[in-house]
């Protein structure tokens, strides 16, 4: 398999969560100027990951090797100015593969 170095993939991503007028949750990644919506707070992590994978065009075969999750196990701060941060979780081999 040809080695693919994705140096543009960030190790840490800022996420702002707010509740939209229709009741959906909106997770905004201001550094990338992208956002996603979901119906519940439990869905934020997978939606944010899908958004990151789509934005950076991560092949499906590699998406199970990396996962972004909040740095702390907390309920997202809804409609507050201070964001929470997602950090990439990988194995050491995968870390070298993605973040050389």
Of 31-35, 38-42, 94-98, least confident by mean pLDDT is 94-98
Q: Has residue 28 got a pLDDT over 70? A: yes
User: In 3D, which of 71, 22, 19 has the Cα closest to residue 45?
Assistant: 71
CATH class of 12-93: alpha beta
Bigger pLDDT: 90 vs 55: 55
pLDDT at 62: 81
Per-residue tokens: 61: 């075969």
Q: What is the pTM of this model?
A: 0.76
Q: Provide the β-strand partners of residue 17.
A: 27, 78
Domain boundaries, the chain: 12-93
- Cα 98 from Cα 60, distance rounded (Å): 14
């Amino acid at each position: 398999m040809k080695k693919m170095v994705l140096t543009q993939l960030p190790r840490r991503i800022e996420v702002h969560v707010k509740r939209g007028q229709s009741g959906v949750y909106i997770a905004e990644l201001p550094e990338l100027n992208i956002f996603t919506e979901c119906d519940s707070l439990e869905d934020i992590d997978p939606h944010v990951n899908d958004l990151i994978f789509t934005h950076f065009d991560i092949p499906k075969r590699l998406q199970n090797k990396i996962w972004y999750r909040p740095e702390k196990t907390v309920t997202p701060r809804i409609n507050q100015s201070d964001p929470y941060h997602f950090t990439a979780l990988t194995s050491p081999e995968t870390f070298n593969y993605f973040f050389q």
